[in-house]
Structure formats: C-alpha cells, structure tokens
C-alpha cells in the first residue's frame, strides 16, 4: 500500500525512519528545523515542507519523532496545533520517547476530534532505525493499531499493541529501565571475573550458557574486545548515548512515582548513570558504564 505520509522530526532516529518510508514507496513530505536534515531526505526522494502545518496537507498518516513531551504537546495541541488542522481520516503516530502523561493528553485531545492517535515509541537505536528493524510499542485503540501497523511495518519488524493511549510510553520506560539494570549487572559480573583472573570472553560464554544470560551480554557486550561489533570495542562510540539512557531512566522514575511504586534498582541505575554523565561521558555509549565501575 502506498500512502501520503507527513514526517516531522528528522534527527538521528527520525531521519533513517523517514528514508525507509521513501524506500518502501510512500509519498513522504518532511519537516525539520535543520536544513541539513531536510536536504538529506530530499536527496533520498522525499519532498520538503516549509512548516509542520504545510507537511500535513493531504497526508493520510502523520508521524513525528521529537525530543521531549513539551515539543510533542507544542506540535499537536492548541488552536495552532496540528490536531486542529487534521480530520478523522488521518492516523497520527508519535514515535518520540516522552512522558506517559503527555502521550495520554495528546491521545485524549485526538480522540475528542475523532482522530486516530497512537504513541508508538521505538526500541533498537540508530542501527535498527537505519536497517528498518525497530520494535514499536504502541498505545491507542485497536482500530488505529490496525491502520498503524501497515506503515510501521516499513520501519520495524516487531510491532506491539501495548494498550490504550500512553501505554507505549509505559512499555518503553519499563524496557529501558530493565536494559540499564542488566547492563550495569553485566558490567559488574565481567569486571569481577576479570579481577579474579578470568578472561571476559570466556566468562561471557559461560554466563550466556547459564542463568545470567541477557541481551547486554549476548548482543551488546560491554567489555572491550569481547564482541567486535559492540561499541565497547570501538572506544564506546554510540550506539545509545548515556544522555539518552539517563533521559529514559528519568521517564521511568516518573512512571513509577505516578503509580505510587518504588523502583529501587531503577533509581540506583539512574544515580549511577547520572554520575557517569557528570564525569563527562554523556555522549558516549551507555555500555561505557563499565569504566565507572572499573574506577
């Protein structure tokens, strides 16, 4: 199916996602504040709009990938917002990672206007965005999910309906909190083994065949030299930056607090990553937390 798609926000994730929609044969009209980002999409075959409101003219799908909740609210809500300019035939998918409360607010505003909206944050990072293998965690109604899946399938391979509006953000918060925790745990185990004479590569193989097995060890090993393709073996070039992990751990803490839940491991992970960031490592890959533990 070919669709008219508006794509707003062409950063490290949004750019490659929009390019995959062009490659899939959709008519994509883009907008971003960065002229360079827009040029890259124009070179790939997209058309460039002068504003977000121009980008959505004639669109069947509106997608956005923005930095934070305030940006999402600013783009969609109010008399000047995009929702006021759309009709019920359009499906809106916000792929930003933001606070669940803002996602619910935008979802409710869309529902009042009869517009299908989903918060659809992603997992997989820049490499998966480029490869078109992202996981999408969607919050909204079943009818909108069926429409969303058609477009999301051209950018990702695992597309989940997590629940009502905001549920996508909650799922992403839970996932990335767990990712931070098992990354730190993997680093601790590998460093403890290394200090007691074990080869980190051999120890990784042992743990991968045992009950300590996890994604950080298997796909993204944090110890330099164990896995050639991992950021650890490339001086911790991201990947997924410490800055972004800290943002996600902050969002996870908000979700916990809103539901009156104590998340001690998540809070400790956030504290460790905050200290690591303050030491000047914000732009490095989040697996570089190993070096903090080595100190």
Interior CA angle at 208 toward 184 and 237, to 5°? 45
Query: What are the φ and ψ backbone dihedral angles of 122, each rounded to 5 degrees?
Result: -120, 160
Dihedral sign, Cα of residue 246, residue 252, residue 253, residue 258: positive
Interior CA angle at 282 toward 191 and 267, to 5°? 65
Indicate the SS3 state at residue 27: strand
* Of residues 191, 175, 173, 178, the one with CA closest to residue 288: 191
Indicate the SS3 state at residue 273: helix
How far apart CA 200 and CA 209 sit, in angstroms, is 14
Among this protein's residues, is 157 annotated catalytic? no
Q: Which residues contact 269 (CB under 8 A, 6 or more apart)?
A: 177, 180, 181, 184, 249
Token pair 């969609």: residue: 76
Angle of helix 264-276 versus helix 167-195 axis, rounded to 10: 70
- Considering the candidates 23, 70, 147, 172, report the single residue annotated as catalytic: 172
CA distances from 190 to 57, 218, 242 (A): 53, 13, 20
Tokens linked to 97:
């990672």
How far apart CA 155 and CA 135 sit, in angstroms, is 9
β-pair type (4-8, 61-64): parallel
Q: 10 Å Cβ neighbour count for 254? A: 16
Residues designated as active site: 172
């Amino acid at each position: 199916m070919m669709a008219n798609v508006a794509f707003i926000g062409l950063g490290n994730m949004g750019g490659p996602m929009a390019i995959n929609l062009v490659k899939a044969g959709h008519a994509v009209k883009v907008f971003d504040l960065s002229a360079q980002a827009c040029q890259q999409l124009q070179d790939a075959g997209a058309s460039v709009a002068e504003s977000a409101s121009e980008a959505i003219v004639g669109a069947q799908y509106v997608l956005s990938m923005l930095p934070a909740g305030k940006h999402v609210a600013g783009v969609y809500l109010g008399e000047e917002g995009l929702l006021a300019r759309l009709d019920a035939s359009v499906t809106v998918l916000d792929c930003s990672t933001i606070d669940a409360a803002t996602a619910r607010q935008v979802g409710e505003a869309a529902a009042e206007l009869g517009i299908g909206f989903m918060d659809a944050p992603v997992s997989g990072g820049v490499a998966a965005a480029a490869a078109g293998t992202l996981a999408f965690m969607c919050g909204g109604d079943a009818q909108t999910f069926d429409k969303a899946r058609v477009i999301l399938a051209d950018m990702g391979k695992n597309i989940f309906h997590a629940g009502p509006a905001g549920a996508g953000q909650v799922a992403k918060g839970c996932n990335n909190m767990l990712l931070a925790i098992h990354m730190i745990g993997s680093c601790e185990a590998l460093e403890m083994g290394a200090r007691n004479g074990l080869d980190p590569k051999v120890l990784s193989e042992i743990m991968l065949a045992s009950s300590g097995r996890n994604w950080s060890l298997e796909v993204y090993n944090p110890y330099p030299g164990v896995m050639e393709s991992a950021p650890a073996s490339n001086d911790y070039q991201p990947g997924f930056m410490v800055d972004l992990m800290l943002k996600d751990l902050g969002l996870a803490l908000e979700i916990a607090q809103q539901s009156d839940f104590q998340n001690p491991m998540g809070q400790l992970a956030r504290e460790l990553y905050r200290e690591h960031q303050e030491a000047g490592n914000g732009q490095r890959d989040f697996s570089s937390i190993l070096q903090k533990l080595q100190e």
